Chain A
């Protein structure tokens, strides 16, 4: 029935400064859905990129249908029948749906190899109809919503007639109904004898749709097995590699008075009616799927985006935050999600990164006081235990974990009262991850109020005093530490509103 179609043996991949994969194994069989599990930064994306010809392995081999895989580029992989639906938007927004599906393998006719638009449109429309999508094939992708774009990506993989379909968090932006549709498609593919590699953070999904699983951690192969023979705890332990207490060193802190109070905050198209209070010493977790609007809420509070309605109060007084500068002056710090493009400035030194938010305060008559700049850098750099050859080295020479420490040091240096962390452990190694968690705990015990946005359920459950769940721009659940469990939180995140929750 099922036979091995792809075999990864002892695969290793180096990047300058980073060991992304280290001796990884993976066996994929036809007619099976194989879950590839691991935390952020475990090496899943790198593995996918090697299988799809984007990266070349440093060592080890990939056997595809028994032959050594030698893709020169992504096109080779596609032609060979390996298609990936990528996590990041890999679409051409100025082009039509048809063209997005056929870019790279346009249908041509005649000796002139003229592009056959009619045939492509016909085929595209058929694909879209098959997926029961209400999209016209001539629509420009920039006019589609997030979920629709994702479905177009899936249609694209189908159009390639792929033998192996790699889905990288395919449901992260989908609603419940759309997820059901996706499951249908996945089962249909499976019945047709295709192999599916399913990357997901969500355990309910893994247990619902997957047959096999392989766990990666820190670029290393940890184990594999039948989904039917395991349970959530076992997988979590494999993912995290140590007991939850070690990973999430949450200290008990007395929750103090209300510091931040948000009422009916809204931004059209992103979120509406968001209200919550944040207290001294509290860690408030924000859980939800990608695109649920959590980051947008925080960006608005921090003054990066403009709000259209609602109020923000600090210590009971309403405040107007027009830009990040105002937010900083009110003692708010924001560690953004996208470290590389929003958090650090890669081509600037550690010192310059750390002092950037308060460079005005470190200057007199506009002239930078180098001595004070050095002192601030040293104090907070050492506090965060940044490992580097010196404060003057550029941030791009640091590992992901150390870069994140630079971002944390930079915001800690502003001596905030409220700390907003958006996916603070995304893409960093396990050791640094534990250090970040420890840092969060310490901040809370010093009386700071912390907001922790995370897409990793164990992290939210392990760290937060209270969890707020968002779905499609609305709050769909609020749980105390005691109440919260993976069941009710995930339910809320996929759009089920819990009874008894006052919104």
Chain B
């Protein structure tokens, strides 16, 4: 092992001069860096397997298929970060989309439709937040119930019908490009939202509080953090972003059926956990999730290009998810063992 100069100081200087090798180990065992490397590897692999992969137009257009989920992943980071979960989000989309279809069938214009969609999402999120914080019920149980309720409302009214008539202007949100470029509006919107949410999470006091809550609700409360208020805001934000996502999705596919976005809850949660956010809260960052989004998005696109069934994709995602959680835990165990052994060695202990 490299020689280490380690000195305990009472101060800000970190006197821990590791060798280059050790520093590289630290960097490359960071989950988001591993994900980034995987993306590079993925690009190399697919561009060799298919001539259509490394094509500007294709790379841009394929984002249409995963931007809506990506947008929902952003507030989901907040929720999981603070130790909660929301499995009702796909149903919120159904509720929003239904509301928009309903509005559209009553001759309301594109702007009105969007506002109604966002409001529907916002209120659904507030309902979740209210139930979770006011009655102290576990988020997974509450959102399990509202999952049925939100989608149930649209199903009860729509039955096996569908709304398919939307104003022409409305199509821009899910199908349009930015000006004359080939950059999808959805992608731009996502990047803007990701920048905002990343800023909130990593640079503001609100984000700091989320980390505190996720690590220890109790200690956060003792430090004056208004825990329930933050959790309520998280669920409300989640609802709002579902509304945004519902606008994009409805606009893109141009129709609303009761089974719209079915199963997306799990896909979005997978993105967040795969991105390195701890399911028990308190750990992770937005960059990792960003990496996971593009890794999985382009994996799907690439596999489609080389005619690999979508089902291989599902299996891969599931495996990645488990490995993503298994690996850090395994690494931690190894580290702890090494630390204990070193400690024993330093104090002249023989291992028993």
Contacts and interface: CB of A to CB of B under 8 A. Distances in A.
Q: Do chains A and B touch in the complex (CB under 8 A)?
A: yes
A382 B209 CA distance: 24
Contacts of A315: none
A348 to B, nearest CB: 6
Interface in B83-114: none
Interface residues of B, number: 41
Interface string B273-291: 0000000001100000000
A389 B216 contact: no
B203 A367 contact: yes
Contact of B222 (A16, A58, A334, A366): A334
A361 to B, nearest CB: 9
Contacts of A12: 349
Interface stretch (B4-12, B56-64, B186-194): B4-12
B14 A389 contact: yes
Given A58-B352, A59-B349, A341-B218, A348 B211 contact: yes
A16 B344 CA distance: 9
Interface stretch (B24-32, B223-231, B241-249): B223-231
B169 interface: no
Contacts of A374: 12
Contact of A342 (B12, B218, B350): B218
Nearest to A19: B347
Contacts of B13: 390
B220 interface: yes
Nearest to A18: B343
A363 B223 contact: no
Most chain B C-beta atoms within 10 Å of own C-beta, residue among A336, A356, A367, A378: A356
Interface stretch (A45-53, A118-126, A174-182, A323-331): A323-331
A338 to B, nearest CB: 8
Contacts of B216: 341-342, 345-346
A413 B329 CA distance: 35
Interface in A304-346: 304, 323-325, 327-328, 334, 336, 341-346
A352 B10 contact: no
Nearest to B207: A368
A386 interface: yes
A336 B8 CA distance: 28
Contacts of B212: 345, 348, 352, 356
A352 B208 contact: yes
Interface in B200-259: 200, 203-206, 208-209, 211-212, 215-216, 218-226
Interface string A101-125: 0000000000000000000000000
B10 A323 contact: no
A262 B206 CA distance: 34
A356 B223 CA distance: 7
Nearest to B283: A347
A14 B343 contact: yes
A389 B15 contact: yes
B208 A387 contact: no
A391 B10 contact: no
Contacts of A368: 203-205, 208
B14 A346 contact: no
B165 interface: no
Contacts of A58: 344, 349, 352
A390 B12 CA distance: 5
B222 A343 contact: yes
A395 to B, nearest CB: 10
A337 B328 CA distance: 32
A17 interface: yes
Interface string A49-77: 00000000111000000000000000000
A387 B340 CA distance: 20
B336 interface: yes
A79 interface: no
Interface string B319-352: 0000000000000000010011001100101101
A382 B10 contact: yes
Contact of A386 (B10, B14, B224, B339): B10
B198 to A, nearest CB: 13
B16 interface: yes
B344 A387 contact: no
Contacts of B352: 57-59
A359 interface: yes
20 contacts: A14-B347, A14-B349, A57-B352, A325-B226, A341-B219, A347-B215, A348-B215, A356-B220, A356-B223, A357-B223, A367-B203, A367-B205, A368-B203, A368-B205, A374-B12, A389-B8, A389-B16, A390-B12, A390-B16, A391-B12
Interface of B: 6, 8-16, 200, 203-206, 208-209, 211-212, 215-216, 218-226, 282-283, 336, 339-340, 343-344, 347, 349-350, 352
Given A367-B204, A390-B13, 19 more contacts: A14-B340, A16-B339, A16-B340, A59-B352, A324-B221, A324-B224, A342-B218, A345-B220, A348-B211, A348-B212, A356-B212, A356-B224, A356-B225, A357-B224, A363-B204, A382-B10, A387-B8, A388-B10, A389-B16
Question: Which 10 pairs show the lowest CB-CB distances between chains A and B?
Answer: A390-B14, A324-B224, A363-B205, A359-B205, A366-B204, A325-B224, A356-B223, A357-B223, A345-B215, A342-B222
